[in-house]
Amino acid sequence: MSDHPAVPGIAGYFINDLNRKREEKRAAAQVRIKKPYADSHPADTSPERVQAEPASAKEGSSAPSAAERFEEEVRKVPLSLTTPAAVEPTKDKSSRQVANEDTIVELDPDLIDEWELNDRPVDEFGDISDLTLRINQHGQIVPILVRPKKGGRYELIYGRRRWTACKELGLKVKAFVRKLTDQGAYQAMVNENAGREDISSWARALSYKKALDMGVYPSQAALAAHLGLNKATLSNIMIYNRIPNEIASAVGSFAKVGIGTVKAILSLAEDKANIEHIIANAALIQSGKMADKALTRTVEAARTSSPYPNGTKSVLDASGNKLFSMRRTERGVWSVTLAKDLTRDLSEEEVEARLKAAFK
């Protein structure tokens, strides 16, 4: 049995074959040792001595065979060099290119401009005091990503908090510098921030809309395909962009407002008379304390309630005579009914004059 373990793979085929031939030659050498040599050297007849002497050394002037010369050459080659190339880790051109692109450089923060497509609104930027302290004590660990602009400046793709912290500390910021298209830059930003819980669905909706409005993507379907987003999920997120302007302005930030509440707002706002009641609850909506069902109940209650007895208010003139009654309908519209005495006893001109006086 061979003392050499079998070597797998293509190179193993040749190595195993050589080991087999070596074993065969050693066995042949033992057979070919001359008896007189063994008799004249009784101390050298040990198995160790017999195995150590190749046949060519005992036969004097005979030249080594071609097989022996080949074996001798192979013996000089380290076995590690015969490992099959297929099992070695390889790096293709693209790997080397990415590595070169990902070389970290240090930049002056003042040479970096914010990208208008960033997906984190100012009110979701958060407190960076802890981050600033860590960078001041331990340095910046994770680089930001920028792309070059004209005039030796750069555009920030992601890492806005780190960039701001370094800027406040007066430190150079570590960055990856890559030449990226708008789509490539946008995808890099989205991928970087995908797992961050502090970026709200509302912020993502605003960012997606801006990317579509600026022509980075030709359609919502193209945006979903490029970013690997589920179309249904994207459609749900995009409903934030359908909130009526007057409600959006009154509420301000929708960072704490869930998609269910937004759907309730859109449903209620289909009736224009509900908008003022929604706006009246803007602070509670913004805080996230008034969700969809509570908002719906509140608006419906406001629509059916009235500050006047029986839902009707009578308006009198200076002499105490009733001019008209007014009430809000279920649609939120004021209904005015003139007093019977007014329409019976007075002319049209007199009625008009009294009404004008009442509204002064």
Per residue in 165-176, pLDDT tens? 999 999 999 999
CA-based torsion, 91, 97, 98, 102: positive or negative: positive
pLDDT of the residue at 209? 95
88: phi then psi, degrees, rounded to nearest 5: -85, 140
Tokens of 53: 């002497």
* pLDDT score at 124: 74
3-class secondary structure, 119: coil
Looking at residue 138, its pLDDT comes to 94
* CB contact at 8 A, 335 and 329: yes
Neighbouring C-beta atoms of residue 41, cutoff 10 Å: 10
Query: How many CB atoms are located within 10 Å of the residue 37 CB?
Result: 12
Q: Which of 113, 195, 106 minimizes the C-alpha distance to 143?
A: 106
**CA nearest 166: which of 201, 191, 210, 134?**
134
Long-range contacts of 178-181 (CB under 8 A, 24+ apart): 178/101, 178/145, 178/146, 178/147, 179/147, 179/148, 180/147
Q: Which residues in the chain belong to E strands, given as ranges? A: 104-107, 112-114, 144-148, 154-158, 173-177, 313-316, 322-328, 334-338
- What is the predicted pLDDT for the residue at 102? 66
How many CB atoms are located within 10 Å of the residue 139 CB?
10
Read off the tokens for 178.
């890559």
Those residues with Cβ within 8 angstroms of residue 312's Cβ, 6 or more apart along the chain or in another chain: 306, 325, 326, 327
Torsion sign across C-alpha atoms 235, 241, 247, 253: positive
Question: Structure pTM?
Answer: 0.56
Angstrom CA distances, 1 to 6, 47, 54, 282, 285, stand at 11, 17, 19, 88, 83
* Structure tokens that stand for 317 in this block: 């003139």
Kindly give the parts of the chain with pLDDT less than 50: 34-60, 74, 77-100, 309-310
What does the pLDDT read at residue 15?
62
Rounded Cα distance, 332 and 276, in Å: 10
pLDDT (0 to 100) of residue 58: 47
Terminal Cα-to-Cα distance of the chain (whole angstroms): 119
Give the SS3 label for residue 181.
coil
pLDDT of residue 248: 95
Distance CA 144, CA 146 (A): 7
Cα-Cα-Cα-Cα dihedral sign, residues 334, 339, 345, 351: negative
